[in-house]
Amino acid sequence: MPSSVVCSDLWFAWPSGELAIAGLTCAFPDQVTGLVGRNGVGKSTLLKIIAGELMPTRGSVSRPERVGYLPQHLVLQSDRTVADVLGIEAVLAALATIDAGQGQPADFEVVGDQWDLPDRSIAMLARFGFADLDLRRPIGTLSGGEVILLALAAQFLSEPDLLLLDEPTNNLDSGARARLYAALTSWRGQAIVVSHDRDLLDLVQHMAEMRAGGITFFGGNFTAFTDALAVEQEAAARGVRAAESDLKRQQRELAEARIKLDRRQRFARSQAGNVPKIVAGAKKGTAEVSAGKLRGGHQADVADARRRLEEAEERVRDDDSIEVDLSRTSVPPGRDIVVTENLVLRNGAVVSLHIRGPERVGLVGPNGSGKTTLIDTIRGEIEPRSGTVSLRVPYRLLPQRLQLLDDRDSVLAAVSRLAPTADDNQLRAELARFLLDADTIARPVGTLSGGERFRATLAALLLSEPPPQLLILDEPTNNLDLDSIRQLTQALTQYRGALLVASHDDAFLSELGLTYRIDLGAVADPLLDG
């Protein structure tokens, strides 16, 4: 079996005929590779093909024999036991039979050389935070994050030749992420990890970016990748400027040549009566040939310059930025936004919170510590166990699942519902600043790509009436690609109201300029960021 992953002229189309991968040829390095790209570009589909979950329409994939694969959306029967998910149930049963002195040849065959599996299993479970987990426990009694962590432990325990992980940190809290980071750092085999988690991507040895034209590989981690892209794009921008200058020069020379040619032709016509007709005819023919060559040469130079400009422009990425005026969301520095008194959440967490003016507050803490509970309590969706909370300004919530807009509405109509007094032309101009052009805003919301739907939702929230002076975000980066995270950060940088953000994404929180953080997993004491 091959020792690495090689895709050869790989094509994949869904039953509907929609093409997901077209003619992909690439070879993945033998170490840990982070795979990034916009949502919908085909990353998860490629991982499923490599894992053998999907068959390519055309082409081939060579891969190592033993492959471990964790899909992005993990579905497991709730009555399965921990041992079953770990894949060790049969070996443990055989070992128990052998220990009881009743072992048969079939039991020894099942065990093979895995006599140390119980010890390795206990060690791996402890490594992933399950020090005293009963192997017979049904996984239905675990939280969603714990099930993901258990599935990760199972993959590392199996020691595959190739490890495939699709967005493994999406539902993990900071502590669980740290355990995965440690396991991945010590991994010595080949792995391909699809992720938008920048902290995780900084642990890989190689980066691969999937775009419509294929996959480009970069040596180094995510930081090295972004640095390389910045240098590349700076060079590409210089190339465009040089090509534009060259095209203008060629166009100018063509215009000058035409002027000179016109002067010559006028002079030749003025002298035509002074020479014999036969001589004049010969001169005219020669002049026309020369003029044709002159025009043709300069026109060819202009065409070449235009082609070089088009090639230079193709090397410039279309990573556009969101630039929008959100001054109407501003809030005076001293205004009370959220005020709590002796607040005890439904889960028993004691929270002291007083947001004033345009403060930016990060909510952190392990899953189950009460971040979403606090958000729902502030919004009045659930009652606290005791105490009070007062929300004193208009607010909007950006939820994890982007279901705010009706799929049947056009983007323009959906946004208009939240901003009923806004003029359509004004909304069109505002939506363009969210990178939504005229064709896009005329389409039904249900037909949008993930990135388009995200930008439409963000625009609807920020342009809504009355202007939101508090924006609440609950794990906003969980299902976003890196481009969408970048655009969200840009929009929030221009937002002038107060922010309350629950997130496990430390890189994202660090870019928001937080006033302080509240760790609901510890004593409710704000950690000032400066």
Q: How do residues 408-464 score in pLDDT, each as one tens digit?
A: 999 999 999 998 888 889 899 999 988 888 999 999 998 888 788 888 999 999 999
**What is 6-80+138-220's CATH number?**
3.40.50.300
Mapped onto helix, strand or coil, the DSSP state of residue 500 is strand
Peptide bond into 29 cis (omega under 30): no
Q: Alpha-carbon distance 453 to 455, whole Å?
A: 6
- Residue 471 pLDDT level (bands cut at 50, 70, 90): very high
Q: Alpha-carbon distance 83 to 80, whole Å?
A: 8
pLDDT value for 363: 93
Q: Alpha-carbon distance 119 to 128, whole Å?
A: 14
The first and second tokens of residue 318, run together, are 């279309």
Mapped onto helix, strand or coil, the DSSP state of residue 304 is helix
- Residue 109 pLDDT level (bands cut at 50, 70, 90): confident
Neighbours of 160 (CB within 10 A): 18
- Min mean pLDDT across 107-116, 162-171, 206-215 is at 107-116
Q: Alpha-carbon distance 377 to 320, whole Å?
A: 37
Whole-structure pTM over 0.85, yes or no?
Answer: no
Sign (positive/negative) of CA torsion 57, 61, 63, 65? Answer: positive
The first and second tokens of residue 385, run together, are 């166990």
Neighbours of 267 (CB within 10 A): 10
Q: Alpha-carbon distance 416 to 406, whole Å?
A: 12
Domain 327-528, CATH number (from 1.10.1240.10, 3.40.50.1000, 3.30.565.10, 3.40.50.300): 3.40.50.300
pLDDT value for 259: 79
- Residue 349 pLDDT level (bands cut at 50, 70, 90): confident
Q: Alpha-carbon distance 413 to 435, whole Å?
A: 17
Sign (positive/negative) of CA torsion 333, 336, 342, 347? Answer: negative
181, with CB counted inside 10 A (0-12, 13-18, 19+), is: middle
Same fold, 6-80+138-220 and 327-528: yes
H-only helix segments in 340-449? 371-378, 411-418, 424-433, 438-441
pLDDT value for 10: 94
Q: What order of strands is seen across the sheet that includes strand 19-27? A: 19-27, 6-13, 58-62
The first and second tokens of residue 39, run together, are 């949502």
pLDDT value for 525: 39
Return mean pLDDT, the chain.
85
Q: Alpha-carbon distance 291 to 300, whole Å?
A: 14
pLDDT value for 248: 82
The residue assigned the tokens 């995200």 is 454
Name the residue ranges covered by the structural domains of the chain: 6-80+138-220, 228-314, 327-528
